[in-house]
Structure 1
């Protein structure tokens, strides 16, 4: 007996048995409708609550991460502003020590110049000497009438001569006095110019201090906003961090290009030093040695920048005393100079090795060597590149520090955005799960439509319509 024949229990066509089984199944589903509905609703709400709780957990994690990102961003911004404010105060201190430390001497010089100008002014303003007292007596004698008396005429002539001589002497003395006063006034111009120059220098110094104080005030206002944790400062510094991330990344790409050129410049001649046939794993020893030299140059550049306190990637180096730090500056610079010289020599060897290889290929092809071409320009260019590139790679430390500091903020922002997207997706799945339960309920009812239709029909017949009683009018 086949398995299908077990379900055919009515003789005749199998369709009758199928109808009977369908009726039984529909009946069973009808009688199990309420438990099935509760089970399907519970399943939908279980999915909904599970995804809802997951979305809520993700949102809480996103909020904690956003708060942590804000804290880190404001802390980094505060540290950067503290460095800027400290540098501005050092500049103000340097200006005060350089220009205003000699203010007592400057004040004494100004006082002496003002006293000298005052003295010259008083000397230049002295009045002319008064006329002699005998002028009145001569005037009285001159009023005596001559009346043709030769003695009186002779006396008057002599008086006239004397008065003319006295007039000439007096005018000469007056002219000399005026000339001396003009000399004093002319000498005052020199003191006025000195005092004007001195005051202009003081004015420039005070103006520079005023500009510095304005910059410090602006930075202090930003610092107060950072300490208050305002949203404005957070948005501003987050935008600045993203800008620094992009710029620093672009500069690092340029530095990587320079490192690749440097690698290709010294990889070939390194094979003559460490052997061209030796390998470290699957890499040539010459290539590994060239890469190590470039990395050592970058490391020395980092140490040099840290010793100069331009970057702060290694706090241990920045916290050294000045004496040890200066020694480290000279040591790292000496190592860089030696490595740059070695690269320059390797670049010279590269040109010679390349020429020998070219000559060997030509001799193998033609049977005779090519004519030697003496061109010193490529050799000098390669040697210059080999000497300059190590020092150029030294400055990688500056964009590297900016990239590392800004990458924390950028990565935190990206992770927060991903968590928000994940929470949205979980919310969407939760709603889909709840609606899926409702959909399954409707599909369940769809499978038992005949019993539901019969139930609805009987329930409609069993309802008795209510007869509305119209209110009777009161005729009394």
Structure 2
């Protein structure tokens, strides 16, 4: 039973993990073809801009060789040659300035192209990061699924370690859920005391049902209805699985049940808040009545603080919603209790089996001891009895011989 419960729990966990993987793939990787096309377009644009931004050095002009040849002419003081060389130098300087200006302009255009590439780089980087994050998330999910599958295989194989782990987990879950249930019972008691007094004004304080005041029964019924609505709400949200019929409903019907349960719970919370307000008024009236009977002066109504009234109303409104969540630890408590009862019954049966074997061994060896003691007590008598017939037979043999001799 313990292994079956553990296997069912691991199957639910695996189903939840597979659903999460499916949701991740559907949300992030369903549009991967469009994302791939977008990445290809971005890479193409970046490649084109990069090619346009390539630094191509300007080709030297054709007259550089002629200038080089002229520069090799030995310098003379002739006026015509010096003037020609000076004109060539001026032309060369002017062309150098024009070339540098054109080069700077081309460099500026290349820098503008590189600057225009930045948004595409950022977009491509963000896209790659998103895909990488999705893949990393899937890898993490895959590792979790592998661990759960290994645990599932151990449970199916019925290994001792898996059984020990499930036992420890069940005991821990039992004590924790039991503690939460005890806290919820305390909240229910507070809620009961909060609405029991005003319920006596609604259903009558002098009526009884089987020796119990009707107001107390009505207050308990309201609390149980709140817990039932909370249970239906948790079942409709598929948080708990105590009623498989509710979990198997279609989504439309489950949503209707969710809103219906929540509406009833909200109305009951409002009723409890109103009852808490009535309780404060009834308590004030009772206090004034006791003071008037005692002969003391009545307390002025305006001097009474409204903080306790507001606190009781807020508490009466919150407690129903708090009790609605008791279905979660209650389910865990029942599942763990089933395992714990199985362990207790198994321990009792093993104890009875051990006691039966012990008693059987005790009776068996006691019987053998009694038989041995009986043999020990009977052996001398049997030995004596065995010796006595031998002597009587010897006497009988001797007496006929003596008689024959006397007759002869």
Structure 1 residue 272 displacement after superposition: 0.9
Deviates more, 1:181-190 or 1:89-98: 181-190
Distance in 1 between the 2:149 and 2:380 partners?
79
Question: 1:312 is paired with a residue of what secondary structure?
Answer: coil
Whole-angstrom distance in 2 between the partners of 1:439 and 1:151: 151
Alpha-carbon distance, 1:140 to partner: 3.3
Q: Which residue of 2 aligns with 1:377?
A: 307
Aligned to 2:80: 151
Report the counterpart of residue 158 of structure 2 in structure 1: 229
In 2, distance between residues paired with 1:142 and 1:455? 155
**Which residue among 336, 343, 347 is the counterpart of 1:413?**
343
Following superposition, the deviation at residue 433 of structure 1 comes to: 4.5
Task: State the Cα RMSD in Å.
Answer: 2.8
Superposed displacement of residue 88, structure 1: 0.6
TM-score (norm 1): 0.75
Aligned with 1:393: secondary structure? helix
* Corresponding position: 1:261 with 2:196: no
- Compared CA separation, residues 455 and 214, structure 1 to 2 (3 A): closer
1:397 aligns with 2:327: yes
CA deviations 1:167-219 (Å, max 9, x no partner) are 11011112222233333334444433332222222211111100100111111
Pairing of 1:71-470 with structure 2 (within 5 A): 72-144=1-73, 147-372=76-301, 373-433=303-363
Q: Deviations over 1:128-169 (max 9, x none)?
A: 221221222333344455644433333332222221111110
- CA pair 454-90 structure 1, distance change in 2 beyond 3 A: closer
**1:306–1:313 CA contact under 8 A, matched in 2:** yes
* Structure 1: distance between partners of 2:129 and 2:375: 98
Corresponding residue SS for 2:226: helix
- Whether the 8 Å CA contact 2:55–2:107 is kept in 1: the answer is no
What's the CA shift string for 1:405-438, capped at 9, x where partnerless?
1212111110111122223333344455456667
Return the alpha-carbon distance in structure 1 between the equivalents of residues 33 and 90 of structure 2: 61
Work out the CA distance in 1 between the residues paired with 2:63 and 2:2: 98
Cα offsets for 1:74-132 (capped at 9, x unmatched): 22222211111111111111111121122122222222222222223222323122122
Say how many residue pairs are matched.
390
Q: 1:156 to 1:219 in 2, by over 3 A?
A: same
8 A contact 1:297–1:336 mirrored in 2 = yes
Q: Is the 8 A contact 1:336 1:390 kept in 2?
A: yes
- Contact 1:363-1:370 within 8 A present in 2 as well: no
Q: Any gaps of 5 or more consecutive residues in structure 1?
A: 1-71, 465-476
Segment drifting more, 148-157 vs 317-326: 148-157
Q: Are the counterparts in 1 of residues 273 and 313 from structure 2 also a CA contact under 8 Å?
A: yes
2 CA distance for matches of 1:252 and 1:219?
Answer: 29
Higher relative contact order (Cα pairs below 8 Å, separated by 6+ residues): 1
Q: Partners of 2:390 and 2:88 in 1: how far apart?
A: 162
State the distance in 1 between where 2:387 and 2:55 align. Answer: 134
4+ aligned runs moved over 6 Å, structure 1: 438-446, 451-464
Pairwise CA distance, 1:345: 0.6
**CA 1:76–1:441 in structure 2 vs 1: closer, same or farther (change >3 Å)?**
closer
Residues 414-468 of structure 1 show CA distances to partners (whole Å, capped at 9, x for unaligned) of 011112222333334445545666788899999xx9x99777667689999xxxx
